[in-house]
Amino acid sequence: MAGAVLMSMVLAYRPPMVRAGRLLMIGVAGFGISIICFALSKNFYLSMVLLAFSGMFDNISVVIRSATMQLVAPDEMRAGLLP
C-alpha cells in the first residue's frame, strides 16, 4: 500500500506516457520479480520492501493500462463528451 501511494504521487508529477510500452513491460516484469522474491524471502524486512516495490510496479501498470483504455475508446463511447 505504501509503495502504491508513493508511486501515485510520483506519477502525478511525471506521467508515464512518453515511453508507455517500455514502462508497462518494466512494470509488469518488476511486479512479477518482486512477488517471486517475496514468496522466497525469509526475512521480514526484505519482505516488506518487496511488497512496497510490488505496489509501485503495479501502480505503474495500472495507470498506463487505464490511460490507454481511455485513449483508444471512440469519442461516442466516452462519458461526458456527448451534447
Q: How far apart are CA 82 and CA 75, in angstroms?
A: 8
pTM of structure: 0.76
Q: What is the pLDDT of residues 20-78, one digit of tens each?
A: 889 889 999 999 999 999 999 999 999 999 999 999 999 888 888 888 887 777 777 76
Q: How far apart are CA 8 and CA 47, in angstroms?
A: 21
Q: What local confidence, expressed as pLDDT, does residue 49 receive?
A: 94
Residue 37 CA from chain centroid, whole number: 18
